């Protein structure tokens, strides 16, 4: 089982805050020089969560660079590659419409999106709840 309450990736610490997840990476050579005090991703979140039928994933980049965002189901199967592009520093957002890579709607349930940059990887949980209407 995947435990999302204990975040730690590659000598970094993931800190959960109200407005998203922050990755803190400290590095340097002891001389006061540091090549990267904080990872390239400053924040990531999706709203609404739970959602139906769409959710907007927002992220804030400290530096420009390539970003990939993929959506996975609870089994770890890749449902869709949302983003594989370069972005400028600053705030960005994309929308996931609850479909797989073939455009078919996915079932209600827990999904994860993984955002990857050259210096950071973050994973966030989201919940799709479909409401049935009966006539």
pLDDT in tens, 11-29: 444 555 555 555 544 444 4
**Are 25 and 38 spatial neighbours (Cβ–Cβ below 8 Å)?**
yes
- pTM, 2 dp: 0.70
What's the topology of domain 8-128? Immunoglobulin-like (2.60.40)
Q: What is the pLDDT of residues 78-111, one digit of tens each?
A: 999 999 999 999 999 999 999 999 999 999 999 9
Q: How far is CA 64 from CA 30, 41, 87, 132, in A?
A: 27, 10, 6, 42
Whether 37 has a pLDDT exceeding 50, the answer reads no
Q: How far is CA 100 from CA 31, 53, 112, 130, in A?
A: 49, 13, 13, 15
The burial class, CB within 10 Å (0-12 / 13-18 / 19+), for 1 is exposed
What is the residue extent of each domain of the chain?
Answer: 8-128
The burial class, CB within 10 Å (0-12 / 13-18 / 19+), for 49 is middle
Cα dihedral across residues 59, 110, 18, 48: positive or negative = positive
Whole-angstrom distance, CA of residue 67 vs CA of residue 50: 24
């Amino acid at each position: 089982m995947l435990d999302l309450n204990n975040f730690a990736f590659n000598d970094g610490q993931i800190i959960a805050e109200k407005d998203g997840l922050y990755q803190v990476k400290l590095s340097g050579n002891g001389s006061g020089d540091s090549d990267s005090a904080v990872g390239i991703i400053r924040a990531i979140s999706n709203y609404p969560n739970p959602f139906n039928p769409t959710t907007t994933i927002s992220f804030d980049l400290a530096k420009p660079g390539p970003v990939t965002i993929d959506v996975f189901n609870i089994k770890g199967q890749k449902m869709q590659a949302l983003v594989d592009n370069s972005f400028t520093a600053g705030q960005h957002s994309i929308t996931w419409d609850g479909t797989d890579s073939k455009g078919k709607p996915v079932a209600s349930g827990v999904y994860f999106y993984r955002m990857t940059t050259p210096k950071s990887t973050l994973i966030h949980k989201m919940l799709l709840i479909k409401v049935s209407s009966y006539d």
